[in-house]
Structure formats: C-alpha cells, structure tokens
Amino acid sequence: METHLQQQLESLKSALLSMAALVEEQIARSITAHVERDIALCELVIGGDQPIDAMELEIDDQCIRLLALQHPIARDLRFVASSMKITIDLERMGDIAVNIAKKTKQLAGMPQLKPLIDLPRMADLSQSMVKDSLNAFVRGDEQLAMDVCARDEEVNQLQDQIYQELLTCMTEDSGSVPQAMQLIFISRHIERLADHATNIAEGVVYFSEGRVIKHHAADDPNQPPTRPESGGPA
Amino acid sequence: METHLQQQLESLKSALLSMAALVEEQIARSITAHVERDIALCELVIGGDQPIDAMELEIDDQCIRLLALQHPIARDLRFVASSMKITIDLERMGDIAVNIAKKTKQLAGMPQLKPLIDLPRMADLSQSMVKDSLNAFVRGDEQLAMDVCARDEEVNQLQDQIYQELLTCMTEDSGSVPQAMQLIFISRHIERLADHATNIAEGVVYFSEGRVIKHHAADDPNQPPTRPESGGPA
C-alpha cells in the first residue's frame, strides 16, 4: 500500500512538473514576443493555452483519486492539498501569458513609445520568481521559497515606477494614451505572475512544514512579506 | 462514523458561509463607498480584511483534518476539494474589495469626472453573481450556477464599454488621466469579482455532479461560456 501511494505521489509530482514546464514556456514566449514585437509568437502563445487547461483538470482528477483510494496523511496529504491549489496558480499564469500576447498584438499596430527600462527588468525578476517557486516546490526547498516571497516587494516597486512613468507620459501627450494603457496592462500582468509565484512559494512552506506564512507578516518581523492584495497597482 | 463525517461536513459548510458573508459585506461596502465617495467606509473595508484571511487558513485546516480523519468519498470528497478551492476565490474577492476601497480613497482627492452610467450597473451585476454563486454552492443548485456563468459575458461587455469611454475621455482631456485611470482599475476589479463568482459557480457544478464545465465551452454549444482569461480588459 505504501509503495502504491508513493508511486501515485511521484506520478502527481511529475504531472505538476509537466504542467509547470508548459506554463514557464508560455510565459517566456509571451515576454519574448512583447520585447521583439513578434506577432507570430503571440499567436503561438494564444493557441498554446488549451493543453494547460486540460492538465489542470487531469491533475485535479489525479488528486481526487489519490485522496479517495490512498488516504494519504501528514506531509503526503498536505502535498496533495497543495497540488490542487498550485494548479490554480499555474492555470492562471497560463492565462496571463495569453493576455500579455493579446496586449502585445494590440500594441504592435500602434506607434512605439520610448522603451521602458524597468519593464524588461521586472519581467526578468518575475520569471525568475516563477522558475524558483516551481524549483522550490519540486525540491521541497523552503529556503528558496522564502527567498521568492521576499522578491515580490521589488516587483511591486518596479511596477509602481513604470505606472508613474506612463501616467506622466499620458498627461504630457494624450496621443500616447492607447499605447501607454496597453503597457500598463502588460506590466500589471507581469506583476501578477510574481503574485502567483509568491502563492506557490507560500504553498511550499506549507506542505514542507504544515506552517502557514501567508497573511502573517505583520505578526513576525522575520517572515517574508505576504503577497500584496491581488490586482491593484502598488 | 457516518454521523461524525456529516457533522464535520456541516461544520465546514457553515464556516464557508460565514466567510462568504464577510466577503459579501466587504464587497457591498466597497461599492457603496465608491458610489458615495465615503472615505470612512473605505477605511472600514481596508481594516476588515484580516478576519477573512484568518478564515481561509481555518477552513483549509478544517478540510485537511476532515480528509485525514474521515476519508470522505464521492460527492463528499468533491465537496471538500471544492471548498479548498472556493476559499481561494473568497479570499481574493476580499482583497479586491480592499483594492476598490484604496482606489476610491485616491479618487476622492481628485476633481470628479462625469458619472459613468455603466459602472453601477456592472457593480450590481457582479454583486448579484457573487451572491448567486454562493447561494448555488450552499443549495447545490446547479441551474443557478450555470446561470451565474452565463452572466459573466455581460459584465465583460460592460467593462469594455467603460474602458472605451474612459480611453476617449483621456485622449480628449489629458487632465482627466489620473481619475480615469483609477476608474479603469476599479472597473477591472469589479470585473474580476465576476470572474471569481464564475469560478465558484463552475466549482458548484463540479461538486454536484463531478462534471467539469470550465475550459469546455468550445466543445459544447449548450454549455455556458467559460470564464475569460484573468486580468485583461475584454
């Protein structure tokens, strides 16, 4: 029985890794497509979301079967529960990649604004958080997970700077409004990738230790910052 | 054993209802605060998020204990799995109410733009979706859940209209950019409330029947539309 449970847990982990790899690829492509204004790559991203959606459903099924038939406990049970939550973040990150590709397509038909220095930096940082949160999950590396949570604040600050820069741009030149709006939306999408990476990292600490770090930053100065409220620009 | 399981399921349902009631109250307050430009009410919303965060953690614990000790199967197991997912949507809806309150505070210090006719309509519609998705969950009312999913498209269309109206406003009068931006963010937050309600409604169909309706609209013309990609304006 024990062996069968372990096999099923390994199979679940492997399915999550496949889903994560697809999501990482979609994110990387959407950001490259944005930087290089590559419409063909945008289309590839937009068409590439379906397998991710399908994997979310498959993994949920796998978790339900595992719970029904194997009755995992303690760390194994927390791993399965975390997996069901992580698929939500992965699926939504996949949607965000599609949204970045759609906004990039809209931008491509407009005159180009001056390049934003902070946007590629913010994209790199968010991508590294996504990658590291997934690595932390696979290895059960709590330290790496805490490190991911700590980086979220930097992404929020960069987004703030980008927003202020684009706001100035729009007030000084109303002709720039349509492009600036698309860039604001893209920067918000990138910031939300970092939020989802933070959610995953919080889940890693939970399944490793049964310890909850989200929502608790104010209680303990040694904890990394909690995730920001979803959505709003900082 | 059966009785104990049923008791724990009832207790889980009751905890979810308490969390949902708090979230609904926060949403209603944030929208009233926006419509009436009521700063004191904004502060109340901003300060009112902590109990919701705490309830998410408590309900997750309750689910884990229930899975570990009671080994629910079939419909009961799906109910517990759905509950863990629903808390994520509820918690994020709570965050959105806080974000609406924060944006409303920022708006209050700026000269008022002309009233947007579609924004209160969109807010009413989203609030009705939130209420109905939770009612559908409590009653296991699949028909009501499908009805919630079908209403999401109308919210997306209203958000589109609001966005176009504000875009015109900004290009015609650059002095309106800061206020218009806050209104765009608020309308996006309201649209995301509807997305979360749709997620909950999809979960209701799943736990009632073990049938998945999300991601499948393209396959079956009789299904309600799937939720839109998160984030982007339509």
The DSSP-derived string for A65-105 is: HHHHHH---HHHHHHHHHHHHHHHHHHHHHHHHHHHHHHHH
The pLDDT score that the predictor gives to residue A206 is: 77
Per residue in B131-181, pLDDT tens? Answer: 999 999 888 899 999 999 999 999 999 999 999 999 999 999 999 999 999
CB atoms within 10 A of CB A116: 19
ipTM: 0.85
Q: Residues A62-68: what's their mean pLDDT? A: 96
The pLDDT score that the predictor gives to residue B153 is: 96
Per residue in B184-229, pLDDT tens? Answer: 999 999 999 999 999 999 988 877 766 666 765 444 434 433 433 3
Cα-based distances in Å from A229 to A104, A181, A195, B230: 25, 21, 9, 15
Whole-number average pLDDT of chain B: 88
Interface of B with A in 62-101 (CB under 8 A): 63-64, 67-68, 71, 73-74, 77-78, 81, 84-85, 88, 92, 95-96, 98-99
Q: Residues A200-217: what's their mean pLDDT? A: 74
The pLDDT score that the predictor gives to residue A208 is: 74
The yes-or-no verdict on residue A227 having pLDDT over 60 is no
Nearest residue, CB atoms, A181 vs list B78, B103, B167: B167
Identify the residue among A30, A55, A174, A211 best suited for mutation to test binding to B, counting B beta carbons within 10 A and taking the highest. Answer: A174
Q: Residues A113-132: what's their mean pLDDT? A: 91
User: In this complex, is the C-beta atom of B222 within 8 Å of any C-beta atom belonging to chain A?
Assistant: no
**Is there a contact between B118 and B158 (Cβ–Cβ < 8 Å)?**
yes
User: In this complex, is the C-beta atom of A110 within 8 Å of any C-beta atom belonging to chain B?
Assistant: no
With CA atoms as reference, the chain B residue closest to A233 would be B185
The pTM of the full predicted model, rounded to 2 decimals, is 0.88
Coil, helix or strand for A230?
coil
The pLDDT score that the predictor gives to residue B219 is: 43
The pLDDT score that the predictor gives to residue A220 is: 42
| Whether A215 and B54 lie within 8 Å, measured CB to CB | yes
Q: Residues A100-128: what's their mean pLDDT? A: 91
Interface of A with B in 15-54 (CB under 8 A): 49-50, 53-54
The yes-or-no verdict on residue B27 having pLDDT over 80 is yes
Number of H helices, E strands in chain A: 7, 0
Q: Which long-range contacts (CB under 8 A, 24 or more apart) does B132-138 make?
A: B132/B197, B132/B201, B133/B197, B133/B198, B133/B200, B133/B201, B133/B204, B134/B17, B134/B20, B134/B24, B134/B200, B136/B200, B136/B201, B136/B204, B137/B16, B137/B20, B137/B82, B137/B86, B137/B200, B137/B203, B137/B204, B138/B13, B138/B17
**Is residue A2 within a helix (H) or strand (E), and if so which, with residue range?**
helix A2-35
Per residue in A137-194, pLDDT tens? Answer: 888 899 999 999 999 999 999 999 999 999 999 999 999 999 999 999 999 999 999 9
User: What is the rounded distance in angstroms from the CA atom of residue B181 to the CA atom of residue B170?
Assistant: 9
The pLDDT score that the predictor gives to residue A114 is: 79
Per residue in B46-64, pLDDT tens? Answer: 999 999 999 999 999 999 9
User: In this complex, is the C-beta atom of A215 within 8 Å of any C-beta atom belonging to chain B?
Assistant: yes
Give percent of chain A with pLDDT exceeding 70: 88
The pLDDT score that the predictor gives to residue A168 is: 94
The pLDDT score that the predictor gives to residue B234 is: 30
Q: Residues A117-128: what's their mean pLDDT? A: 93
Which residues of chain B are within 8 Å of residue A230 when distances are taken between CB atoms?
A: 92, 95-96, 99, 192
Per residue in B64-116, pLDDT tens? Answer: 999 999 999 998 999 999 999 999 999 999 999 999 999 999 999 898 887 78
